Amino acid sequence: DAGVIQSPRHEVTEMGQEVTLRCKPISGHNSLFWYRQTMMRGLELLIYFNNNVPIDDSGMPEDRFSAKMPNASFSTLKIQPSEPRDSAVYFCASSPDGSNHGYTFGSGTRLTVV
Protein backbone atom coordinates (compact mmCIF):
# COMPACT_ATOMS: atom_id res chain seq x y z
CA ASP A 1 0.00 0.00 0.00
CA ALA A 2 1.28 3.49 -0.84
CA GLY A 3 0.06 4.93 2.44
CA VAL A 4 -1.90 8.14 2.80
CA ILE A 5 -1.21 10.37 -0.18
CA GLN A 6 -1.47 14.13 0.01
CA SER A 7 -1.07 16.77 -2.67
CA PRO A 8 0.42 19.19 -3.22
CA ARG A 9 3.49 18.87 -0.97
CA HIS A 10 4.00 22.61 -0.95
CA GLU A 11 1.65 25.45 -1.78
CA VAL A 12 2.45 29.14 -1.86
CA THR A 13 -0.46 31.46 -2.53
CA GLU A 14 -1.42 35.07 -2.16
CA MET A 15 -3.80 36.26 0.49
CA GLY A 16 -7.38 36.08 -0.71
CA GLN A 17 -6.85 33.19 -3.08
CA GLU A 18 -8.64 29.86 -2.80
CA VAL A 19 -6.53 26.88 -1.75
CA THR A 20 -7.50 23.23 -2.13
CA LEU A 21 -5.60 20.44 -0.41
CA ARG A 22 -6.14 16.83 -1.41
CA CYS A 23 -5.92 13.49 0.34
CA LYS A 24 -6.21 9.85 -0.65
CA PRO A 25 -6.57 7.61 2.41
CA ILE A 26 -5.41 4.02 2.66
CA SER A 27 -7.84 1.67 0.97
CA GLY A 28 -10.18 0.08 3.50
CA HIS A 29 -9.71 2.75 6.15
CA ASN A 30 -13.12 4.06 7.17
CA SER A 31 -11.94 7.07 9.16
CA LEU A 32 -10.22 10.15 7.75
CA PHE A 33 -8.85 13.11 9.65
CA TRP A 34 -7.49 16.52 8.72
CA TYR A 35 -4.96 18.02 11.13
CA ARG A 36 -3.11 21.32 11.13
CA GLN A 37 0.34 21.73 12.67
CA THR A 38 1.89 25.04 13.75
CA MET A 39 4.77 25.84 16.03
CA MET A 40 2.50 27.67 18.44
CA ARG A 41 -0.38 25.22 18.70
CA GLY A 42 1.11 21.89 17.71
CA LEU A 43 -1.22 19.41 16.02
CA GLU A 44 -4.90 20.29 15.96
CA LEU A 45 -7.75 18.17 14.63
CA LEU A 46 -9.77 20.13 12.10
CA ILE A 47 -12.34 17.58 10.95
CA TYR A 48 -13.11 13.87 11.17
CA PHE A 49 -14.96 11.77 8.60
CA ASN A 50 -16.28 8.26 9.10
CA ASN A 51 -17.56 6.34 6.08
CA ASN A 52 -17.38 9.59 4.07
CA VAL A 53 -19.65 11.45 6.50
CA PRO A 54 -18.36 14.42 8.54
CA ILE A 55 -18.72 13.46 12.18
CA ASP A 56 -16.89 16.23 13.98
CA ASP A 57 -15.96 19.55 12.41
CA SER A 58 -15.63 21.46 15.66
CA GLY A 59 -11.97 22.09 14.98
CA MET A 60 -12.53 23.92 11.72
CA PRO A 61 -11.36 27.43 12.59
CA GLU A 62 -13.94 29.45 10.67
CA ASP A 63 -16.30 29.49 7.72
CA ARG A 64 -13.41 30.05 5.35
CA PHE A 65 -12.52 26.40 5.85
CA SER A 66 -14.52 23.57 4.31
CA ALA A 67 -13.88 19.88 3.78
CA LYS A 68 -15.51 17.23 1.65
CA MET A 69 -15.23 13.51 1.18
CA PRO A 70 -17.18 12.60 -1.96
CA ASN A 71 -16.06 8.96 -1.85
CA ALA A 72 -14.00 6.55 0.21
CA SER A 73 -10.79 7.29 -1.65
CA PHE A 74 -10.69 11.08 -1.79
CA SER A 75 -11.04 14.11 0.45
CA THR A 76 -10.40 17.81 0.03
CA LEU A 77 -9.79 20.66 2.44
CA LYS A 78 -10.54 24.07 1.00
CA ILE A 79 -9.67 27.51 2.33
CA GLN A 80 -11.44 30.44 0.70
CA PRO A 81 -10.29 33.16 1.03
CA SER A 82 -6.87 32.29 2.42
CA GLU A 83 -5.10 34.49 4.98
CA PRO A 84 -1.47 34.63 6.14
CA ARG A 85 -2.44 33.12 9.51
CA ASP A 86 -3.53 29.98 7.68
CA SER A 87 0.13 29.23 6.93
CA ALA A 88 0.85 25.84 8.47
CA VAL A 89 1.41 22.20 7.61
CA TYR A 90 -1.83 20.36 6.94
CA PHE A 91 -1.89 16.62 7.50
CA CYS A 92 -4.37 14.00 6.46
CA ALA A 93 -4.56 10.73 8.39
CA SER A 94 -6.64 7.60 8.09
CA SER A 95 -7.51 4.67 10.31
CA PRO A 96 -9.60 1.52 10.15
CA ASP A 97 -12.68 1.38 12.34
CA GLY A 98 -12.17 0.15 15.85
CA SER A 99 -10.37 1.53 18.84
CA ASN A 100 -7.45 -0.88 18.66
CA HIS A 101 -6.00 0.64 15.50
CA GLY A 102 -3.50 3.41 15.16
CA TYR A 103 -3.48 6.28 12.71
CA THR A 104 -1.44 6.55 9.50
CA PHE A 105 -0.46 10.05 8.48
CA GLY A 106 0.34 11.46 5.07
CA SER A 107 3.44 13.52 4.38
CA GLY A 108 1.53 16.77 4.74
CA THR A 109 1.04 19.93 2.68
CA ARG A 110 3.09 22.95 3.69
CA LEU A 111 0.92 25.99 3.00
CA THR A 112 2.35 29.49 2.87
CA VAL A 113 -0.01 32.40 2.37
CA VAL A 114 1.76 35.65 1.54
Partner 1 sequence: KQEVTQIPAALSVPEGENLVLNCSFTDSAIYNLQWFRQDPGKGLTSLLLIQSSQREQTSGRLNASLDKSSGRSTLYIAASQPGDSATYLCAVRPSGSNYKLTFGKGTLLTVNP
Residues that bind partner 1 (CB under 8 A): 31, 33, 42-43, 45, 48, 50, 55-56, 91, 93, 95, 99-108, 110
User: What is the closest distance, in whole angstroms, from the C-beta atom of residue 90 to partner 1 in the complex?
Assistant: 11
User: What is the closest distance, in whole angstroms, from the C-beta atom of residue 112 to partner 1 in the complex?
Assistant: 13
CB-CB neighbours of 19 under 10 Å: 21
CA distances from residue 3 to 13, 35, 43 in whole angstroms, order as listed: 27, 17, 20
User: What is the closest distance, in whole angstroms, from the C-beta atom of residue 43 to partner 1 in the complex?
Assistant: 4
From CA 49, how far away is CA 59, in angstroms rounded?
12
Residue number, 88 or 93, with CB nearest to partner 1: 93
Residue number, 64 or 110, with CB nearest to partner 1: 110
Q: In degrees rounded to 5, what are phi and psi of residue 23?
A: -145, 135
From CA 18, how far away is CA 93, in angstroms rounded?
23
User: What is the closest distance, in whole angstroms, from the C-beta atom of residue 46 to partner 1 in the complex?
Assistant: 11
Residue number, 9 or 18, with CB nearest to partner 1: 9
Tell me, what DSSP letter sits at residue 62?
S
